[in-house]
Structure 1
């Protein structure tokens, strides 16, 4: 389906996109929106991506990122407890106000120097929305929720537009008092390469994968933090008909340990059925030729899998937004949740060798997939810019 286009306003098109580097998803969503805006005719130099915490306070950002990753992987119960306890918090609560205060001065200076025509957040750090009302009164602010779950940190009275993944999230925002007209069910922004994606036979050869065997794609996360990866590989490889393609992300330590552990089963060996990859920029190609996806339940990866129509197997989801992501997709018949390697292996084999169930799960995934989310967000942002430009024009009556 062709992408609708909207001519960018003559004086508009300066877009500020705020993200954070807690995980890879917020940046990926920001880049997807940037690319969609460029497809609509906005000049690249007019789009600025800002990691607000990193630029405002590099030391605090690094310490908090390390604490986030440590608590997420080493103390998941504590992480989930904090997430659940703060989930209903209000923006003007003591904790909520503290969280939204980080980067306030940096954002104020950015607003004055960049004079953006629109501000887009892919991470909920609304550092200066109140001051921007006086600094830039005609600038629309949008929040792009990057999970299938809603933490109230995303809800702020000075956000003009919300973009969410599902109808359920829209209803939840409405119950919190957000007007329906301010909410768009866009999906979570992902790369354009996932739009109308079809397998290309050349991709099997490109990645050294067989065309005549089931391919189980494992994505351990950009930082390679999915638990029990070696044990999961061992359990899956018990089936001699299965090929495993494991994406280790940027975790070279994980890749090295797996090379040593599975030396005789790697694709470099005769008949090896375990294929290791680092960070894969063209991940859509691997997803297109895989038969199912095993992953940690980050919003971006799940959205990519859904757009591809892949049956999803979510392994030991961490309490918090990722567990809630998993539970939502499980309730829609698009994902299995498994707790140990053997349970995962049994579930994968059960599905792969049952064509009817496999087709049902593929259809459930495609029904939830929204590969055009980034274009939906970009078009809406430019419409807001046009409305504001017309409203502020001296010839407007």
Structure 2
């Protein structure tokens, strides 16, 4: 008889956030002795289609933000029962069935809005399935009544989900998971030495996103770099062209440090006084864990704009749509300790650094319920007998 629990986490590689949540949950699950398998389902099932969709995602953010915003808004209230929605949710089902047959997980976790598991449930594959929503805002693509539980960032999101027809017991307010490293104490002196920074100056951290698509970085860093009290760390993500360009521009500037992709983002956040970034849900959550005041620059219409408005309403962030506005906000904050402290306190009220552990604890309690034993037995029988290939893939 199987005693060790096994989890399957389904994610997608659109941006780095869904993967980071997957890693945080893997870390917490492994600490509880749960075996974890992860799958980038769309990429494995449809690599060429996934690559095309990913290219469009990146380019629409950088070149056609209004188009992306329109697509997001026009589909925000989509009904998962429509023929289009059902066709969309069937993507990856053939690949998922193979994974389930080989892996035989006790439960499945979504860190991306995909509803293949509820579709399989209608075919008799009843495995406990959980969804971790990775933004501070809601899109209907996340929602399906046959997801056992949803884990969300705020009470506002919980109320919205319940208002859209979910049962109260289906929704838990836990915050968005981040890795344990974001709650570890940091030695400012050691980290400043590691990154070649002056601990006597305030540190401005500028993060261009995992694809390095934030605009006006040269102008922003040039404006702020003349301030003797401030030093800037610019993280260009995976955009090597941007990194090389910024390195040329600021090669001889002693108060600007240019970096590419940084795995240890928690170290930079721990020693920074202020963050300028795109309002992705995971980056914002990481900043909250570090009590880091945040300025959100030119949020793209869609979940970015919604995330930004949520954070601004809570007092943990400011939003700027123009470079000169951003520079004014930065200068004000970095020279006004009381304003920074107010934003730190606001961030502290929103944080839950143990979100991953809380989510895992709730999942493990849920799958121990007697009804799940019946469901699991039925699911095992269905998985054994299910065909490998279906009409949809």
Give your verdict on TM over 0.5: yes
In 1, Cα distance between the equivalents of 2:139 and 2:190?
42
Structure 2 equivalent of residue 4 of structure 1: none
Structure 2 equivalent of residue 58 of structure 1: 47
Structure 2 equivalent of residue 20 of structure 1: 12
Equivalent residue for 2:236, pick from 223, 234, 248: 248
SS at match of 1:264: coil
- Indicate whether 1:168 and 2:156 are aligned: yes
Structure 1 equivalent of residue 223 of structure 2: 235
Contact kept, 8 Å, 2:6 with 2:105, in 1: the verdict is yes
In 2, Cα distance between the equivalents of 1:72 and 1:148?
19
In 2, Cα distance between the equivalents of 1:74 and 1:26?
23
Contact kept, 8 Å, 1:108 with 1:128, in 2: the verdict is no
Residues 178-327 of structure 1: matches in 2 within 5 Å?
178-195=166-183, 197-265=185-253, 272-327=254-309
Runs of 5+ consecutive residues of structure 2 not aligned to the other structure: 378-393
Residues 23-42 of structure 1: matches in 2 within 5 Å?
23-42=15-34
Equivalent residue for 1:47, pick from 13, 36, 44: 36
SS at match of 1:216: strand
Equivalent residue for 2:353, pick from 354, 371, 381: 371
Moved more, 293-302 or 120-129: 120-129
In 2, Cα distance between the equivalents of 1:369 and 1:377?
14
Shift, 1:369, TM fit: 1.3
Q: Deviations over 1:2-34 (max 9, x none)?
A: xxxxxxx96351101000011111111111101
Shift, 1:391, TM fit: 3.7
Contact kept, 8 Å, 2:128 with 2:372, in 1: the verdict is no
Contact kept, 8 Å, 2:117 with 2:129, in 1: the verdict is no
Number of aligned residue pairs: give it. Answer: 376
Shift, 1:209, TM fit: 0.9
In 2, Cα distance between the equivalents of 1:180 and 1:389?
18
Structure 1 equivalent of residue 343 of structure 2: 361
In 1, Cα distance between the equivalents of 2:261 and 2:160?
35
Structure 2 equivalent of residue 80 of structure 1: 69
Q: Deviations over 1:313-346 (max 9, x none)?
A: 0000000001100000000111000122221121
In 1, Cα distance between the equivalents of 2:106 and 2:352?
27
In 1, Cα distance between the equivalents of 2:204 and 2:88?
40
Structure 2 equivalent of residue 153 of structure 1: 141
In 1, Cα distance between the equivalents of 2:372 and 2:76?
38
Contact kept, 8 Å, 1:316 with 1:337, in 2: the verdict is yes
Shift, 1:263, TM fit: 2.4
SS at match of 2:369: helix
Q: Deviations over 1:165-213 (max 9, x none)?
A: 0100000001001111111111111111112544442111111111111
Equivalent residue for 1:351, pick from 311, 333, 337: 333
In 2, Cα distance between the equivalents of 1:158 and 1:111?
18
In 2, Cα distance between the equivalents of 1:106 and 1:129?
15
SS at match of 1:178: coil
SS at match of 2:116: coil
